[in-house]
Structure formats: C-alpha cells, structure tokens
Amino acid sequence: GRIADAATDDMAAMLLTNPPWRELFFIWLQGNIQDPRMPLQLLLKLKQSPVPATAAEFGPYVTLLINNKLYDLAYGAWLQSLDAEQLAHAGFIYNGAFDYPPASYPFAFEWSLKPGSGVIVDMVTLENANRALMIKFGPGRADFKPVSQMTMLMPGNYTLTVEAQGFRKLVR
C-alpha cells in the first residue's frame, strides 16, 4: 500500500497484468495507505482493462473507507463497482425490488442477508415473476440477523413503503 502511494502508475501497471496477489493487495490496504483516494484510482484503471476489477477487489476498499468514516468516498467507490444496468437502478434504496441476487462481496450499500440458525433469509421469485425477500423461521429458537442496507440520504423527510405478506402453515 505504501509503495502504491508513492508510485501509483507503476502499481497500476503491475495490477493490470492480473497477478495472483491482486485481490489480496486490496484486502491488505487497511492501515497501509496515506491517501484514501489512491486505491480508487487503481480500481478505476482496472475497471477499464481487459481484466476489470471485481467486487472482491472493490469490496475491501469500500469497507476500509466505511471503517474510517469516509462514507461519501465509500458510496462513490461502491457506485463505481456497479455495471451500467445496476447503476441505472441505484436510488435511495438499492435493489429495493430484489431484482439482483446478493453480491458476491457483502457491500454495506446492498442488502445484507446474514445467515442464522433456525432461519432462512433469501431473495426468491414469486408466482407472478416478481422478486421478494423471504424470511422463513424453522422450529425452535431462531438466531435472526437483521436484514439491512446502508443508505446515503440528504437531510429531509422520506417515506419508506413496504409490502409484506405472512404465511402460516398449520400442521395437525
């Protein structure tokens, strides 16, 4: 990370060759950079390359920024990780209709569906071809982890509209 701070263009040239340590490079940046914008410069160069940056490379950088309370930069970096179609659907709540499966890397600005014992949380397709969030509790105690998503909103009044439907299967 410190070498990249000093020689960003040289590091970009090395990363463009897709070395086997490229993904780990972005993981190990935590605590090893002085300019928090430097990794974004590298990731944007990679995004335009024949071997573009992956979610597993953008993800640790976005997490690093959030951990350091650089939320605006983190949000901008996350937006850069999206493809054109996903970017067109980015709004106050990303993927509010659950059109996209969970990302391979758990970005804070996307749905966090954490597993727990006695509960299944998943995005499913309904009979009418719409998608929905399914939360299914099994028998006994459930260790339910909240479904969450970090958002970036300007101060103001907002309305969150949710459609919910419960199902109960009676066993006799």
Mean pLDDT split into 10-residue runs, the chain, 172 residues: 75 91 87 84 90 90 91 93 87 86 84 86 83 85 87 89 70 48
- pLDDT computed for residue 79 by the predictor: 93
List the beta strands (DSSP E) in the chain: 119-125, 131-137
- pLDDT computed for residue 96 by the predictor: 86
- pLDDT computed for residue 20 by the predictor: 94
**127-136: b or e for each residue (b if 16 or more CB lie within 10 Å)?**
eeeeebeeee
Residue carrying structure tokens 């953008």: 58
Residue carrying structure tokens 């709004």: 91
- pLDDT computed for residue 167 by the predictor: 65
Residue carrying structure tokens 């940046």: 29
Residue 44 is encoded by which pair of tokens?
Answer: 């944007």
Which residues sit opposite 131 in a β-bridge? 125
